[in-house]
Every structure is written in structure tokens, then in C-alpha cells.
Amino acid sequence: MSAHLILIDALNLIRRVYAVQERPFIQIKQQHDDELSSSTLKQVLFNTQKTCVNALIKIIDQHQPTHALAVFDSQQPCWRYQLFDGYKKGRKKMPDHLANKLTDIQDAFMEQGFDSLTSDEDEADDLIATLAVKMALHGQKVTIISTDKGFLPLLSPNIHLYDYFNRRYLDEEHVKNKFNVKSTQLIDFWTLTGDNTNKIEGVSGIGQVTAAKLLNQYGSLKAVLNATDLKDSLAEKLALSVEQMDLARKLLTLKQDIPLGFNLKDIRLTSPSPALEISGNIIAINGDRN
């Protein structure tokens, strides 16, 4: 029997929903130069949880998955920060009151039959990539729910990326229109250009147009580096950036081999629970379940 696994990039969904719910109150606060009251924060968090659950229901109804997981980032810095302390530097930190609400949101997800997955060492992106690739290798369908472009290199006949907020699939046509390369060339592309979203530097002086032109001409970054007909100025830029490119590639590449410790049957989508309160079922990477 064929399976269809939905993998939700949980914080991508939750933080975007929270921002929408918070925005009108923030605008009022700015007008009156005041802080949000505790009652207002509670209302924003309540609305965020309710909207996220409604999103979950819509996702299930639209995609009709047989299996599902909401994948969460660890609250601790992942291994990428150990490689590069500037990783995601300057990115806005999740508000403490939202971070403290995540357990309640996980519980609410579980009431809809959606289990949750988290890890102390890896990012949600790495866990999602590992699960998606494992499923795809067995010929099963995977749909990743996220707006994160970092999943685009995973695109394949069995792995799809869906933007819930704009109601569209981010497919090969999207990649071509946005980056002018194939999804299989994106890691090479970002290694050359860098990724400003995550504060990963690329090769100085090489932008998207040049990177796409090189990859379309030579096929891969390896072929570009081995080419003997590059302009001297370009060859020099590349030669001076070997270490930076190596670091960028490591940071950009999602893990696909994390030991998960559970089977497909453990994440089969169950019927929503009629209970008002349920303890969330958090899957740890060692396979233990709380």
C-alpha cells in the first residue's frame, strides 16, 4: 500500500501565524508607545494556536496524507553554530511567551492525530530531509509544508514542497523562475552566491546572475572549478574562496542520515481525539516517547 507522508516545518508555520496574529496589536502599541498587556499576549497566543490547528485540519483535508509529523527545531543551538558562529546572526529570536506555548501547540496537534518530532542536535530541516529522502527511496510520496527555500534541493518525483500561505507548490518551474538553475544545482548556486537569510557568505563579487550563468554553462560547481577557460579575474575570485565555499556547502547541505529510531507505522495519521485535553506525544531521536 502506498503511503503519503506530510512533514510540517512546525516553527515555519507557527511563527508566521503568530506574526499575523500579533501585528494589529503591535501597531496599536506603537501608536500609544505602550507594551502589550498580559491579557493581550494570552489572546494572541490563543489565536495563534487556534489558527495553527485550523491550518493543520486544512492541510489534512487538502493533501489526504496517510502519515504525518510536525517537526520542531530544538531550543538549543544546532551543530551549524559550532561550525560558524555567525550562522543566522541577527535573526529575530522567538519571543519567550511563544516558546513557552509550543508544548500546548504540540498537544493541540496531537489531538488532530499529528505527532511531533524534535532533536537536541539537529535542525528541523535536517530531520525533515532525512525522513523525506528515506520515504522517497522506498517509492513513497512526501509533501513538505514550508516556505523555506532550503528544501528546494530535495525536490524529486516523490518529494514535493508546498507553501501553505500562498497555496502553491514550490516546484522546478518555481526554481527556474526564481534562480534560473535546476533544483539539483541549488547547493552549488548558493555556495557561490551565499545565503543572506542565514548569513552564509559566498564568493565575493559573484551574484545570482553570474552564478546561474556559470552553472548553466558548466553544469556544476566542480566543473566550474576545473574549467580552464574562465576569465582570470573570476578564476582568482574562486581560488581565494575555496575555504569559504567549503564552509558554505557544509552549512547549506541538509543531513539525510539522522538515526530516527521509529518506524513508519509509528507516525500513521490517526483520527482526531474527542478528548478536550491530551498530552502531546513527542518522539525523540533515540525512539523514546514521552
Closest CA to 287 of 263, 254, 265: 263
Grouping H, G, I as helix, E, B as strand and the rest as coil, residue 135 is helix
Say what percent of the chain tops pLDDT 70. Answer: 90
To the question of whether residue 125 is assigned a binding role by annotation, the answer is yes
Confidence of residue 29 (pLDDT cuts 50, 70, 90): low
How many Å separate Cα 136 from the centre of its chain?
A: 18
Q: The dihedral of CA 197, 177, 250, 131: what is its sign?
A: positive
Q: How confident is the model at residue 286 (pLDDT cuts 50, 70, 90)?
A: very low
The pLDDT value recorded for residue 288 is: 37
The string of pLDDT tens digits covering residues 35-91 is 678 888 999 999 999 999 999 999 999 999 999 999 999 878 889 999 999 999 988
Is residue 25 very low, low, confident or very high in pLDDT (cuts 50, 70, 90)? confident
Which residue, chain included where needed, has cell 507548490?
Answer: 169
Go through the domains of the chain in sequence order and give each one's CATH number.
4-170+259-283 (3.40.50.1010), 177-252 (1.10.150.20)
pLDDT above 90: residue 130: yes
Q: How far is CA 217 from CA 16, 95, 239, in A?
A: 38, 45, 19
pLDDT of residue 28: 60
- pLDDT higher than 50, residue 196: yes
Q: In what helix (H) or strand (E) does residue 7 lie, and over which residues does it extend?
A: strand 4-9
Residues 6 or more apart whose CB falls under 8 angstroms from that of 161 comprise: 143, 144, 146, 151, 152, 154, 155, 169, 170, 171
Share of the chain above pLDDT 90, in %: 77
Identify whether the C-beta of residue 181 lies closer than 8 Å to the C-beta of residue 189. yes
50-54, 235-239, 270-274: least confident range: 270-274
Most confident listed range (27-31, 75-79, 270-274, 276-280): 75-79
288 annotated as ligand-binding? no
CA 223/CA 232 separation, integer angstroms: 16
Phi-psi region of 113 (alpha: psi -120 to 50; beta: other; left: phi over 0): left
Question: Is residue 44 part of an annotated ligand binding site?
Answer: no
Predicted confidence (pLDDT) per residue in 84-120, tens digit: 999 999 888 899 999 999 999 999 999 998 999 988 7
Buried-state track 28-50, b at ≥16 Cβ within 10 A, e below 16: eeeeeeeebeeeebeebbebbbe
| Cα dihedral across residues 209, 183, 169, 266: positive or negative | negative
Q: Does 206 count as an annotated binding residue?
A: yes
Q: Tell me, what amino acid is at 163?
A: D
Directed axis angle between helix 186-193 and helix 242-252, to 10°?
130
